[in-house]
Amino acid sequence: MIPKYRAQFNAEFTQQKYEKMLDKLKENSGTYPMFRVSESPVFLSADFKHKLEDACESIISQIKKMSPAELSAAIPEHLKVPNDTEKPHFLTIDFGICKNERGEIVPQLIELQSFPSLYVFQKELQTAIIEEYPFIAPLKSPYSEAEYYQELKDLIIGNEEPENVILLEIYPDTQKTNIDFYLTEKKLGIKTVCLTKVKKDGRKLFYENEGRLIEIKRIYNRVIFDELERLPDLKMEFDFRDDLDLKWITHPNWFFKISKFILPKLESPYVPKSYFLADFPKEEKLENFVLKPLFSFAGAGVNLTPTPEDLENITDKNNYILQRKVSYAPLFEDPAGEFSKAEIRLLYIWKDDEAEPKLLEHLVRMTKADMVNVDFNKKNAIWIGGTTAFFVQ
């Protein structure tokens, strides 16, 4: 979108620089990313940034007006966790970078969730890119490294000692996002602990480190319920639904409350119309909509071309939405003259004592496939995968 910066990046790009960028990430974390990282960032205009800000301000304002009962209706009864919180600690909002009917480049909401994303990896990725392409440095995030990680420490660790705070995940070393866990350990000084390794005594949880049992007072929760539900035989000493003497960052109930569940409730020029499947109007044309399950990650279960037969075969219609299709714009040119599309995720944190969430960082996914997901691309394509954005003032 910014010809000056795109042309300079493409002229300076080499495969060697890309590999050095990945090597730097490995040096900092101990591993290469298990997901594909794009060779290129995207460069976005100040005008597009203002549109993103307007969209997020409208969405957050509408969420704040929703009652606790309205939001809690999203939580499946068998997955309700006690000691809910007034607000979520994380809020991530995904927009497609699209072209409207007037040919304008606009953000269009794809989904949103109250669940932590790659907050540490994205900061380190931005730094690694700038090291290889110093001309980008004036466009970097306004937060210094010290300021950025202090914000995360204040939120995740709070007033506790780091050893009493854990990042919780299911088999973390096998997760595609494990690089973010290792970087989080390094930057925040907390341990990553597998769900199966947590021990319980009464209302307290513990983990073992160097032969010592250490009480867990805060959990930076990275467990996705969608995955947990698929592992019914997982051996655990505690249940998420237990009344525990600790603090969740963020509370598991928010996984459901801020999700695709609220998309039909939102109104904005930047929010494509959505309906619960059970409420889909007869006057709407099905070919204009995408079918999505409410609670899934990484594009699982999304149907880009649903048919009436597909809808009839779904028995739990309240757990699906139909969302109006949007047109992703192929804007990001690679050195071969081919263009990628992209989606941008805004990464917010929301502290207990603050009235509004705070935008910390962003994540971009580039694609040349029909679906913006790193798993849906051709193996030999370039300018695809996870990356970051730089905004031109």
Q: Is the pLDDT of residue 101 over 90?
A: no
> What's the whole-number mean pLDDT along residues 251-257?
95
Q: Give the integer Cα–Cα distance in Å for 220 and 214.
A: 16
Find the Cα–Cα–Cα–Cα dihedral 162, 29, 383, 152, rounded to 10°: 10
Q: Give the integer Cα–Cα distance in Å for 289 and 331.
A: 23
Q: Give the integer Cα–Cα distance in Å for 63 and 61.
A: 6
Q: Give the integer Cα–Cα distance in Å for 180 and 267.
A: 34
Q: For helices 178-188 and 15-29, what crossing angle results, to 10°?
A: 60
Q: Give the integer Cα–Cα distance in Å for 65 and 49.
A: 25
Nearest to 74 by CA among 116, 112, 107, 119: 112
Q: Give the integer Cα–Cα distance in Å for 321 and 70.
A: 17
Q: Is the pLDDT of residue 350 over 60?
A: yes
Give the residue extent of every domain in the chain.
273-325
Q: What percent of the chain has pLDDT over 90?
A: 84
Cβ(283)–Cβ(273) below 8 Å: no
Report pLDDT digits (tens) over 259-300.
999 999 999 999 999 999 999 999 999 999 999 998 766 556
Q: Give the integer Cα–Cα distance in Å for 383 and 393.
A: 24
Average pLDDT, the chain: 93
**For tokens 């699982």, what's the residue?**
300
> What's the whole-number mean pLDDT along residues 365-381?
71
114-123, 197-206, 305-314: range with lowest mean pLDDT:
305-314
Find the Cα–Cα–Cα–Cα dihedral 334, 337, 343, 349, rounded to 10°: 30
More confident residue, 337 or 379: 337
Q: Which residues have CB under 8 Å from 345's CB, separation 6+? A: 92, 93, 94, 95, 117, 362, 363, 364, 365
In this predicted structure, what is the pLDDT of residue 315?
86
Structure tokens at 56: 């997020």
Report pLDDT digits (tens) over 319-342.
899 999 998 999 999 999 999 999
Q: How many CB atoms lie within 10 A of CB 36?
A: 18
Q: Which residues have CB under 8 Å from 380's CB, separation 6+? A: none
143-152, 178-187, 362-371, 373-382: range with lowest mean pLDDT:
373-382
Q: Which amino acid is at 258?
A: I
In this predicted structure, what is the pLDDT of residue 225?
83
In this predicted structure, what is the pLDDT of residue 374?
45
Query: Which range has highest mean pLDDT (229-238, 242-251, 286-295)?
Result: 242-251
Q: Give the integer Cα–Cα distance in Å for 257 and 357.
A: 16
Cβ(330)–Cβ(97) below 8 Å: no
Global pTM reads: 0.93
Report pLDDT digits (tens) over 9-66.
999 999 999 999 999 999 999 999 999 999 999 999 999 999 999 999 999 999 999 9
Q: Give the integer Cα–Cα distance in Å for 92 and 33.
A: 21
> What's the whole-number mean pLDDT along residues 125-134?
97
